[in-house]
Amino acid sequence: MQHMFDPKCSPEEYQAQGKSFSFPDLTCELCPHCRTSLLKPHGYYIRWLCVIDFSGHIFIRRHICKSCGKTVSLLPSFAHPRMAHGIAFIIGVLKLFYLEGHGVVQATQTFQKDTGSCCSRQLLRQFIRRFERNLNRLVMETIALQKLKLPPVTAPEGEKRKRARQFLECIRSLEPEDVSLKLFERSGTTYLGALAN
């Protein structure tokens, strides 16, 4: 299981601090799996992270439950759960595709020109498929989070591209990492899919 937190620093600063980073302390929390005992520190693992202007290995802090033996990992909010690419990277290229109306090839080329980060056509297509598959859940969670009276997406179910564009318009003024963190804390939803525990 993963637990997202706001590191209040850039990926470069997070990486530079390594294991000495001041991670949230989960030792006073019950195991979210079995709810019978407290978590205890259980070392670190290394994962690859690719965001705009940064790519490299980062340390992820882990905790373990003495009763059930399951672990909880602390994931910084600029990273996307179970993806090598970070939130700003994913949303940045999706906005070019949906909001700017670029095709897949043009979106990847513009993204590389604007950010210096490379996104392949295959990777963007994967992001699009997963984003559209998760869109209904994202819309429902966004309505609840923002306490909206009217749904931000009005396009019919079959018009996936239009629905995705309307959703991205709704969150355009917000920081993608803040939205991601709030969605994850509320229901385990991420931009590219719901997580199973």
Q: What is the pLDDT of residues 116-134, one digit of tens each?
A: 999 999 999 999 999 999 9
User: How sure is the predictor about 195, in pLDDT bands with cuts at 50, 70 and 90?
Assistant: low
Same domain, 71 and 124: no
Same domain, 137 and 160: yes
Q: What's the rounded mean pLDDT across residues 46-74?
A: 95
**Beta-ladder partners of 4:** 75
**Which residue in 71, 88, 58 sits closest to 176, CA to CA?**
88
Asked if pLDDT for residue 185 goes beyond 80, the answer is yes
pLDDT digits (tens, 9 = 90+) for 3-18: 999 999 999 999 999 9
In a domain, 150, yes or no: yes
Where a domain ends, among 12, 44, 76?
Answer: 76
In a domain, 102, yes or no: yes
Q: Are 33 and 74 in contact (CB under 8 A)?
A: no
Where a domain ends, among 46, 76, 106?
Answer: 76
Same domain, 38 and 102: no
Radius of gyration of the chain (CA): 18
Mean of all residue pLDDT scores within the chain: 92
Render the burial of 129-148: b for 16+ CB within 10 Å, e for the rest. Answer: ebbbebbebbbebbbebeee
In a domain, 193, yes or no: no
Residues above pLDDT 90, as percent of the chain: 71
Asked if pLDDT for residue 87 goes beyond 50, the answer is yes
Helix orientation angle between 121-146 and 104-115, rounded to the nearest 10 degrees: 80
Asked if pLDDT for residue 115 goes beyond 70, the answer is yes
Element spanning 62, H or E: strand 54-65
pLDDT digits (tens, 9 = 90+) for 147-160: 877 778 888 888 99
| Residue 128 lies in domain | 87-187
Give the total number of structural domains in the chain: 2
In a domain, 82, yes or no: no
User: How sure is the predictor about 197, in pLDDT bands with cuts at 50, 70 and 90?
Assistant: very low
Same domain, 65 and 117: no
Asked if pLDDT for residue 196 goes beyond 50, the answer is no
